[in-house]
């Protein structure tokens, strides 16, 4: 296999990856991530933006098809099921994240892979292999594009197109040359801008739906001989040239085949933007250690990396539940007032007087240590000033859900069950049956429907 740091090497890896080459712990982690994504997708039911996108997809496609649209218990074409499920799984803000690439792989990998595996009758082993390929490609593209890219672009929407193309391309059994063309077609469709946060707009769900659909399209086109740019990532007019000022081409093949970035992926504990999680954990630590209540706190300074300021800074007075998940003050307010920042807490209380009052006590400040460690490590630090004049400090080196502070399978099941029940997308009995089956995915002869 070529080891040159290029789009070509990445395409060759994705096209030739075999199940038996993937270490068993990575396969087990992939199963964990699949279950976690499944719960996040079901939690998207009834979200206005998701229902609009899903309704659009259903209106554009056949009344029935081989691929499952999870929140509606209907089927459709692979393309439209992939788009609907990708939109649904990125709205509750509970889907996974890879720290170093600042990228949410599950929401752009599992939807197109599941849809195509169902359509083609692929095995569970083939599904897992394709998803590992998607994670490894997407994460490396995100790392390659760097911090400057993330300041303006939503990496899940941009790198996500290539992640989706890799997963679908592997299921289609593309040759390395075809996979290279698929990457070219996927990369030229990469899109997703952070500006939507200022307006509480719905674009984040469109980003993932588009990435899943564009990657799937690119792979199917490549199978038919459609060509794409051969150096879409590192070429003089490729993604890095247009979307990054600090791209590092070496990261495209960093440890390819030996460093399994899927295993580095974190689960999300709080139902909010991941940039809020380190500070939320650190605040919880201070409140618990010192027996404080929200009323005891005069001021909180979240000591953060620049990426947190770039993404969260524009959200000063959130107007919707989804926008509030990108408000550091709201997240810390829910933690302080209610003890957790879960789905129900956001829905019921993001505008409550007590939470808003605490929100207005919170500020963010750039911390050199935290910023230097980011994005490889997301350190949580807070400075808490109390009403009686004390200054207290909290620090968390690995937020809950990171690989070194991960969720057990029992915790993942509990989380997925809560997500499924959140909007009634599945009953407890249905969800427990689905989870039991998902743990055996590697033994499935064919990928069928996940829910009856």
The pLDDT-based confidence of 452 (bands split at 50, 70, 90) is: confident
Please compute the mean of the pLDDT values over residues 44-53 and round it to a whole number.
Answer: 98
Q: What is the pLDDT of residue 61?
A: 87
Q: What is the pLDDT of residue 339?
A: 96
Name 252's Cβ contacts closer than 8 Å, sequence gap at least 6: 5, 6, 7, 9, 10, 140, 141, 144, 233, 234
Question: Over 70: is that where the pLDDT of 319 sits?
Answer: yes
Query: Which of 379, 378, 299 has its CA nearest to residue 336?
Result: 299
Does the global pTM surpass 0.85?
yes
Q: What is the spatial distance between Cα 89 and Cα 108, in angstroms, rounded to a whole number?
A: 9
Q: What is the DSSP letter of 380?
A: E
Burial grade of 139 (CB within 10 A; 0-12, 13-18, 19 or more): buried
- Strand ranges (E), 267-347: 297-304
Question: Over 70: is that where the pLDDT of 396 sits?
Answer: yes
The pLDDT-based confidence of 384 (bands split at 50, 70, 90) is: very high
| 45 Cα distance to chain centroid | 17
The pLDDT-based confidence of 364 (bands split at 50, 70, 90) is: very high
CB 222 within 8 A of CB 182: yes
Q: What is the spatial distance between Cα 80 and Cα 111, in angstroms, rounded to a whole number?
A: 10
Q: What is the pLDDT of residue 11?
A: 98
pLDDT in tens, 244-282: 999 999 999 999 999 999 999 999 999 999 999 999 999
Q: What is the pLDDT of residue 49?
A: 97
Q: Which residues pair with 299 in a beta bridge?
A: 385
Query: Which of 77, 73, 86 has its CA nearest to residue 204?
Result: 86
pLDDT in tens, 288-301: 999 999 999 999 99
Question: Over 80: is that where the pLDDT of 2 sits?
Answer: no
Helix and strand totals (H; E) in the chain: 20, 6
pLDDT in tens, 178-192: 999 999 999 999 999
Q: What is the spatial distance between Cα 312 and Cα 319, in angstroms, rounded to a whole number?
A: 14
Coil, helix or strand for 252? helix
Query: Which of 38, 35, 36 has its CA nearest to residue 425?
Result: 38
The pLDDT-based confidence of 99 (bands split at 50, 70, 90) is: very high
Q: What is the pLDDT of residue 352?
A: 97
**How far, in Å, are 8, 52, 79, 173, 183 from residue 15 at the CA level?**
11, 35, 21, 7, 11
Helices marked H in 43-190: 48-60, 78-88, 106-120, 124-152, 155-171, 176-187
């Amino acid at each position: 296999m070529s080891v040159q740091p290029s789009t070509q090497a990445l395409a060759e890896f994705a096209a030739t990856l075999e199940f038996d080459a993937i270490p068993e712990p990575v396969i087990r982690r992939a199963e964990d991530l699949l279950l976690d994504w499944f719960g996040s997708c079901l939690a998207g039911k009834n979200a206005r933006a998701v229902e609009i996108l899903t309704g659009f997809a259903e209106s554009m496609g056949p009344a029935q098809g081989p691929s499952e649209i999870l929140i509606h218990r209907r089927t459709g074409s692979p393309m439209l099921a992939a788009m609907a499920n990708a939109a649904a799984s990125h709205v509750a803000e509970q889907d996974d994240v890879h720290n170093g690439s600042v990228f949410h792989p599950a929401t752009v990998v599992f939807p197109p892979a599941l849809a195509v595996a169902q359509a083609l009758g692929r095995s569970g082993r083939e599904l897992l292999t394709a998803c590992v390929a998607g994670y490894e490609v997407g994460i490396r593209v995100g790392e390659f594009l760097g911090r400057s890219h993330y300041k303006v672009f939503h990496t899940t929407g941009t790198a996500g197109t290539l992640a989706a193309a890799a997963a679908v391309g592997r299921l289609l059994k593309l040759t390395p040359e075809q996979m290279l063309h698929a990457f070219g077609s996927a990369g030229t469709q990469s899109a997703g801008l952070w500006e939507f946060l200022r307006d509480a707009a719905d674009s984040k769900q469109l980003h993932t739906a588009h990435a899943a659909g564009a990657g799937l399209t690119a792979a199917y086109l490549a199978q038919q001989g459609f060509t794409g740019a051969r150096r879409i990532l590192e070429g003089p007019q490729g993604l890095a040239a247009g979307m990054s000022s600090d791209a590092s081409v070496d990261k495209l093949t960093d440890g390819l085949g030996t460093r399994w970035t899927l295993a580095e992926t974190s689960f999300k504990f709080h139902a909010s933007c991941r940039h809020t999680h380190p500070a939320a954990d650190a605040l919880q630590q201070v409140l618990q250690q010192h027996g404080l209540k929200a009323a005891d706190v005069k001021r909180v300074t979240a000591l953060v990396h620049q990426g947190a300021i770039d993404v969260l800074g524009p959200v000063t007075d959130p107007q919707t539940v989804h926008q509030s998940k990108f408000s550091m003050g709201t997240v810390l307010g829910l933690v302080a007032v209610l003890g957790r920042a879960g789905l129900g807490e956001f829905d019921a209380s993001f505008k409550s007087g007590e939470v808003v009052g605490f929100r207005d006590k919170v500020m963010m400040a750039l911390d050199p240590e935290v910023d230097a460690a980011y994005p490889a490590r997301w350190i949580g630090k807070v400075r808490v000033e109390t009403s009686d004049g004390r200054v207290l400090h909290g620090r968390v080196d690995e937020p809950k859900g990171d690989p070194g502070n991960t969720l057990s399978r029992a915790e993942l099941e509990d989380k997925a069950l809560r997500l499924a029940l959140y909007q009634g997308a599945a009953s407890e009995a249905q969800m427990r049956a689905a989870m039991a089956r998902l743990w055996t995915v590697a033994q499935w002869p064919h990928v069928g429907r996940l829910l009856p």
